[in-house]
Structure 1
Amino acid sequence: MLKNLFLTTLLLCSATVSAESVFEVNLDPAPYSRTEARVQAMELVLNRLTGGRAQDSWVQDEARRDLSRYLQSEPTGPGYNAVFNEEELLALLKSAELPFSLTSRPTVLVWLSEEGRSRNEASRVWRRASSAYQIPLLWPLWDLEEHMTLDTRDLFDAKPLREASRRYGANYWLAVEQDATGGRWQLFGSAQEQPLLQGRLASGADTVTGLMARLNRYWVEKNEQRSALRPDNPMPIQPLLAKADASGELTIVVSGLHRYADSVLLERKLRQLDGVGAVYVVDSAGSQGRYRLSVPGSRAAVLQALTTITGLAVTGEREFSWAGGQHD
Structure 2
Amino acid sequence: MLKNLLLTTLLLCSAAASAQSVFEVNLDPAPYNRSEARTQAVELVLDRLTGGQAQNSWVRDEVGRELSRYLQSEPPGSGYNAVFNEAELLAVLQGAELPFSLAPRPTVLVWLSKEGRARSEANRSWRRASNAYQIPLLWPLWDLDEHMTLDTREPFAAQALREASRRYGAEYWLAVEQGTEGGRWQLFGSKQASPLLEGKLESGTDAVTKLMARLNRYWVERHAQRRAPRPANPAPEQPLLAEVDAGGELTIVVSGLRRFADSVLLERKLRQLDGVGSVFVVDSAGSQGRYRLDISGSRAAVLQALTTISGLTVTGEREFSWSGATGD
* TM bracket (short chain): over 0.9
Equivalences for 1:2-13 in 2 at 5 Å?
2-13=2-13
Rounded to whole Å, the distance in 2 between the matches of 1:145 and 1:291 is 70
Question: Structure 2 unaligned runs (5+)?
Answer: none
RMSD: 1.9
Partner of 2:164: 164
Q: Deviation at 1:225?
A: 2.0
Partner of 2:66: 66
Query: In structure 1, what residue type is equivalent to 2:168?
Result: Y
Q: Deviation at 1:255?
A: 2.9
Query: In structure 2, what residue type is equivalent to 1:187?
Result: L
- CA contact 1:314–1:321 (8 Å) conserved in 2: yes
Rounded to whole Å, the distance in 1 between the matches of 2:244 and 2:126 is 61
Partner of 1:131: 131
Change (3 A) 1:189 1:92: same
Q: Deviation at 1:208?
A: 0.5
Rounded to whole Å, the distance in 1 between the matches of 2:3 and 2:239 is 75
Partner of 1:218: 218
- CA contact 2:22–2:48 (8 Å) conserved in 1: yes
Rounded to whole Å, the distance in 1 between the matches of 2:183 and 2:249 is 59
- CA contact 1:235–1:287 (8 Å) conserved in 2: yes
- CA contact 2:96–2:326 (8 Å) conserved in 1: no
Partner of 2:191: 191
Change (3 A) 1:76 1:234: closer
Rounded to whole Å, the distance in 1 between the matches of 2:263 and 2:240 is 15
Rounded to whole Å, the distance in 1 between the matches of 2:190 and 2:79 is 37
Partner of 2:97: 97
Alignment partner of 1:152: what SS?
A: coil
Deviations 1:39-66 (A, max 9, x none): 1112111111111111121111111001
Query: In structure 2, what residue type is equivalent to 1:202?
Result: E
Rounded to whole Å, the distance in 2 between the matches of 1:108 and 1:90 is 27
Alignment partner of 2:153: what SS?
A: helix
Partner of 1:308: 308
Q: Deviation at 1:107?
A: 0.5
Question: Structure 1 unaligned runs (5+)?
Answer: none
Rounded to whole Å, the distance in 1 between the matches of 2:228 and 2:211 is 31
Task: Using the TM superposition, name which of 85-94 and 259-268 deviates more.
Answer: 85-94
Rounded to whole Å, the distance in 2 between the matches of 1:140 and 1:36 is 37
Query: In structure 1, what residue type is equivalent to 2:129?
Result: A
Partner of 1:28: 28
Partner of 1:206: 206
Rounded to whole Å, the distance in 2 between the matches of 1:118 and 1:36 is 37
**Quick one: percent identity of the two aligned structures?**
78
Deviations 1:77-134 (A, max 9, x none): 2211122222222222222222211111110000111111111110100000000000
Partner of 1:120: 120
Q: Deviation at 1:168?
A: 0.6
- CA contact 2:94–2:229 (8 Å) conserved in 1: no
Alignment partner of 1:56: what SS?
A: coil
Query: In structure 2, what residue type is equivalent to 1:259?
Result: R
Partner of 1:143: 143
- CA contact 1:240–1:290 (8 Å) conserved in 2: yes
Q: Deviation at 1:220?
A: 1.3
- CA contact 2:92–2:261 (8 Å) conserved in 1: no
Deviations 1:126-183 (A, max 9, x none): 0000000001100111222112221123322211110010011111000111112221
Rounded to whole Å, the distance in 2 between the matches of 1:262 and 1:178 is 47
Query: In structure 2, what residue type is equivalent to 1:279?
Result: V
TM-score, structure 1 as length reference: 0.93
- CA contact 1:311–1:327 (8 Å) conserved in 2: no
Alignment partner of 2:167: what SS?
A: helix
Task: Using the TM superposition, name which of 194-203 and 122-131 deviates more.
Answer: 194-203
TM-score, structure 2 as length reference: 0.93
Rounded to whole Å, the distance in 2 between the matches of 1:87 and 1:230 is 14
Rounded to whole Å, the distance in 2 between the matches of 1:154 and 1:91 is 47
Rounded to whole Å, the distance in 2 between the matches of 1:306 and 1:216 is 41
Rounded to whole Å, the distance in 2 between the matches of 1:294 and 1:7 is 63
Alignment partner of 2:205: what SS?
A: coil
Partner of 1:47: 47
Change (3 A) 1:326 1:9: closer
